[in-house]
Amino acid sequence: MSLERIDAYLESHAKDFEEQLKTLIRIPSVSAQPDHDPDTRRAAEFIRDDLAAMGLDARIIPTKRHPIVYAESLGAAGKPTVLVYGHYDVQPPEPLEPWLSPPFEPTVRDGNLYARGATDDKGQMFTHLKAVEAWLKTTGGLPVNVKILIEGEEEIGGVNLETYVAENAEALACDYAVISDTSQFAPGKPAITYGLKGLAYFEIHVQGANRDLHSGTYGGAVANPLNALASILAGLKGPDGRILVDGFYDAVRPLEDWEREAFAELPFSEEEFRADLGVGEVFGEAGYSTLERKGARPTCDVHGLWGGYAGPGPKTVLPCKAGAKFSFRLVPDQDPAEVEKLVRKHIEANTPPGVTVEFISHQGSPAVLVDVDSPGFRAAVKAVEASFGVAPLFIREGGSIPVVGLLKRHLKVDTLLLGWGQNDDNLHGPNEKFSLADFHRGIRASAHLLDELSRAT
């Protein structure tokens, strides 16, 4: 039977897969930083070459920014079509100091592969490529039709994928989309994510006087943009963790009773959670459990702030400008465009006198919820159970994967979110990691999924 031969192929090629992944990870394809543009290009070429080496018709599609890689295999007549999505771009590695090994030199410690992009998303994305390879090399074909779409602007919320998908909706038509860019619930507890938050990401620049001033000579006479920035940011969220933007909660779909019960039943120790993070107490919106806040309530976080003097010792400057990046995680049925309007209005209304604020919108995507009672979802449950030896939990996640909404909009398709990562993978921070055991389990689950989907009804 095919699956046994495939499992044997996966076992005998396990080391090759790891080495290939390491080679891909060594390419510092940081999409946010223009000096890495040649690297994003190289990463796209690596993936195209890998797909071509399996015998697929693979090609690079240029965009206005970072290229897309596309490949397809449409030989399974009468069978469903599966679209595999992934991204080869990574978050900036900064700050560099806390990394125990260089971010772009993949290093194995305790069975984990440490590097930027190890789990997000190079490692997870690669599991599907290797599953397809196993089918092709073992049986000469695939049990379903497969379309593979790997982009390079996920981490910067680029618009070029959407343009491409919108213009090629017919060619990309499919029955299911599959993405691995999420986490398991915990080690040994695989999960399928049926809900994701949306995102509305902003940046503000606050300007006071036309030059830096002496805080003795001018203090008290003119507004200080750093004080003003603090006031604006502090005004986003109340001491009870509630977001203070007027109208922000209007569209929020309340958690239903069955969902709150399901959250309460998930295995979770707040004590272990606190110990792992080294915090004395958790903090968030009053009236909701930690898991509810993480997975199903909107949030607001400042990602960076800057202004004035940060060197050693005192400097009595009254700086002329300051800035910050911050975002809101959204839940159904919040509209990111509407949230942007509300936030703009809130900041206009809450800008202290004497400063001006420039408002920049970086990216926006709505939250998604997928139907857990569908043939594709049931097939995914079987595939994960076959590889991990345990049935997956169904979870809602705080992360945002805008492409899920994009595929729904343009291709009218639901996405199966099969997360192979772990919550402590540090995916946007230093020492990002990915368990090699989960890497291989992910490949096997993906290979089985193609088989299950060929029979799904």
Q: State which residue, 109 or 455, has the beta carbon closest to its own copies.
A: 109
Residue that has been written with the tokens 């590889």 in this structure: 387
Tell the smallest beta-carbon distance from residue 147 to its own copies (Å): 26
Which of the ranges 2-10, 105-113, 170-178, 216-224 carries the binding residues for its own copies, by CB under 8 A?
216-224
Question: How many residues sit in the footprint of its own copies (CB under 8 A)?
Answer: 106
Q: Which is nearer to its own copies, 140 or 220 (CB)?
A: 220
Could you tell me the CA-to-CA distances from 72 to 69, 150, 332 in Å, in that order? 11, 12, 33
209 touches its own copies (CB under 8 A): yes
Q: Which of 78, 140, 267, 353 is the binder for its own copies (CB under 8 A)?
A: 353
Q: How far is the CB of 455 from its own copies (least distance, A)?
A: 34
List the one residue from 1, 77, 100, 310 that touches its own copies (CB under 8 A).
310
Residue closer to its own copies by CB (options 95, 267) is 95
Radius of gyration of the chain (CA): 23
**How many other C-beta atoms lie within 10 A of the C-beta of residue 387?**
24
Rounded-to-integer distance, Cα 389 and Cα 383, Å: 10
- Distance (Å, rounded) from C-alpha 122 to C-alpha 24? 8
Among 130, 297, 440, 441, binds its own copies (CB under 8 A): 297
Marked catalytic residue, from 154, 155, 162, 432: 154
Distance (Å, rounded) from C-alpha 7 to C-alpha 292? 38
Active-site residue identified among 18, 39, 50, 89? 89
Compute the distance between CA of residue 304 and CA of residue 310 in angstroms, rounded to an integer.
14
Q: Which of 28, 67, 86, 157 binds its own copies (CB under 8 A)?
A: 157
Supply the DSSP symbol for 79.
S
- Site residues for its own copies, 90-109, by CB under 8 A, read 91-92, 94-95, 98
Contact residue for its own copies among 61, 266, 273, 344 (CB under 8 A) = 273
Residues between 158 and 187 that touch its own copies (CB under 8 A) = 183
Distance in angstroms (rounded) separating the CA atoms of residues 364 and 251: 16
In this structure, how many other beta carbons lie within 10 angstroms of the beta carbon of residue 435?
22
Classify strands 81-87 and 145-151 as parallel, antiparallel or unpaired: parallel
Question: Does residue 7 carry a catalytic annotation?
Answer: no
Active site residue 154: yes
Residue closest to 110 by CA, chosen among 345, 433, 334, 356: 433
Give the nearer residue to its own copies in terms of CB position, either 81 or 119. Answer: 119
| Distance, CA of 1 to CA of 453 (rounded, Å) | 17
Q: How far is the CB of 355 from its own copies (least distance, A)?
A: 8
How far does CA 182 lie from the centroid of its chain? Answer: 7
User: Does residue number 319 form part of the binding site for its own copies (CB under 8 A)?
Assistant: yes
Site string for its own copies, 233-272 (x = CB under 8 A): xxxxx-x-x-------------------------------
Least Å distance, CB 275 to its own copies, is 10
Other C-beta atoms closer than 10 Å to the C-beta of 224 total 26
Output the smallest distance, CB 219 to its own copies, in A: 4
197 lies in the site for its own copies, by CB under 8 A: yes
Site for its own copies in 26-65 (CB under 8 A): 31-34
Q: Say whether residue 330 binds its own copies (CB under 8 A).
A: no
Q: What's the rounded Cα separation, in Å, for the pair 85 and 151?
A: 8
CB 328 within 8 A of CB 343: yes
Amino acid identity, residue 194?
A: Y
Hey, which residues are catalytic here? 89, 154
